[in-house]
Amino acid sequence: MNDRFAFTIDGVEVQGRPGQTIMQAADEAGIYIPRLCSHKELAPHGSCRVCTVLVNGRPQTACTQPAGPGIIVENSSEALLAIRCNLIEMLFIEGNHFCMFCEKSGNCELQALAYRFGIMAPKYPYLFPTRELDASHPDIFIDRNRCILCGRCVRASRDLDGKNVFQFVGRGPRKRIAVNAKTALADTDAARADKAVSACPVGAILRKRVGYGIPIGQRMYDAAPIGSDIEAARAHPHK
């Protein structure tokens, strides 16, 4: 069976299979396309736009766009890099992200992307929004200051936990993550082991009382930048 097809990413020939997104094919080929709202176990969402690539010259989100024979994908031009940096910076200024004391530091995908892109300090002013905490649940803590509205918790709760604990409410700048209960998270059937909790890429949904348990140096992104695991596959192709 040879239904594989070839296309290129930044001039490198890559094999794709029917039904694969550009991101999936790139992952298999050991090429990292930066991402935030995308998660291996979840249906693609295409909302954060960090994975924007040029497909035959047109911007597309790599997490939703199918791969196809002969397409020409650009993933690492200066222009794309600038777009991604801008998106990441916007996420920083729109929320209240204090990496210095956040317990997600070192394991946070947003921070890890900022490091990978060498973002020193955002060029836009911080908005310092007022966001609500929800500490009502005995085992889970919600800190909306750090929510980047990626929707992973919504999808994970619905599709993996079968619960529907989270939903978005409001529009535009007032859009926020809410819980499907009259008052607070304590009134939902959310549980400590839910995938919705572990799927959050930032420190917005946390398991209580375990923060800072992993010493600096042993956290997810201490040793190598985000995406290195994917790129390692390219360094050692398993053909």
Partner 1 sequence: MTKHTAGQRIVIEPVTRVEGHGKVTILLDEHRKVKHARLHIVEFRGFERFIQGRPFWEVPVLVQRLCGICPVSHHLAAAKAMDRIVGGEKLTPTAEKVRRLMHYGQFFQSHALHFFHLVSPDLLFGFDADPAIRNVIGVAKKFPELAVQGVMMRKYGQEIIRITAGKKIHGTGAVPGGVNKNVSIEERDFLRKDLDQMVAWSRAALKLCKDYTVEHLEELAPFGSFDSNHLALVREDGAMDLYHGNLRAIDAAGKKIFDQVDYQNYAEYIAEEVRPWSYMKFPFIKSLGPAKGWYRVGPLARVNVCDCIDTPEAEAARKEFMAVTKGAPNNISMAYHWTRMIELLHSIEKIKELLHDPDLQGEDLVVKGARRSETVGLIEAPRGTLFHHYKVDDNDQVVMANLIVSTTNNNEPMNRAVTKVAEDHLSGVTITEGLLNRIEVAIRAYDPCLSCATHALGAMPLVVELRAHTGELVDRRVQA
Identify the residue whose tokens are 């909302």: 47
Instruction: Single out the residue of 63, 108, 113, 153 in contact with ligand SF4 (rule: CB under 6 A).
Output: 153
Find which of partner 1, ligand SF4, none residue 202 binds, CB within 5 to 8 Å per kind: ligand SF4
> Closest distance between ligand SF4 and the C-beta of residue 37, in Å?
7
Q: Return d(Cα 14, Cα 153) in angstroms, integer.
A: 32
Window 173-212: residues binding ligand SF4 (CB under 6 A): 177, 199-200, 202, 204-205
Instruction: Single out the residue of 43, 79, 212, 232 in contact with partner 1 (rule: CB under 8 A).
Output: 212
147 makes contact with ligand SF4 (CB under 6 A): yes
Q: Return d(Cα 51, Cα 217) in angstroms, integer.
A: 28
Token reading at 152: 């992973």
Instruction: Single out the residue of 26, 114, 179, 196 in contact with partner 1 (rule: CB under 8 A).
Output: 114
> Closest distance between ligand SF4 and the C-beta of residue 234, in Å?
28
102 makes contact with ligand SF4 (CB under 6 A): no
Rank residues 10 and 159 by Cβ distance to partner 1 and give the closer one.
Answer: 10
Strand 5-9 and strand 12-16: the pairing is antiparallel
84 makes contact with ligand SF4 (CB under 6 A): no
Among 43-51, 65-73, 127-135, 153-161, the segment contacting partner 1 (CB under 8 A): 127-135
Instruction: Single out the residue of 62, 80, 88, 148 in contact with ligand SF4 (rule: CB under 6 A).
Output: 148
Window 25-54: residues binding ligand SF4 (CB under 6 A): none
In 3-state terms, the chain is what percent helix, strand and coil (to 5)?
Answer: 25, 15, 55
Among 15-23, 65-73, 133-141, 175-183, the segment contacting partner 1 (CB under 8 A): 133-141
Contact residues: ligand SF4, CB under 6 A: 147-153, 177, 199-200, 202, 204-205
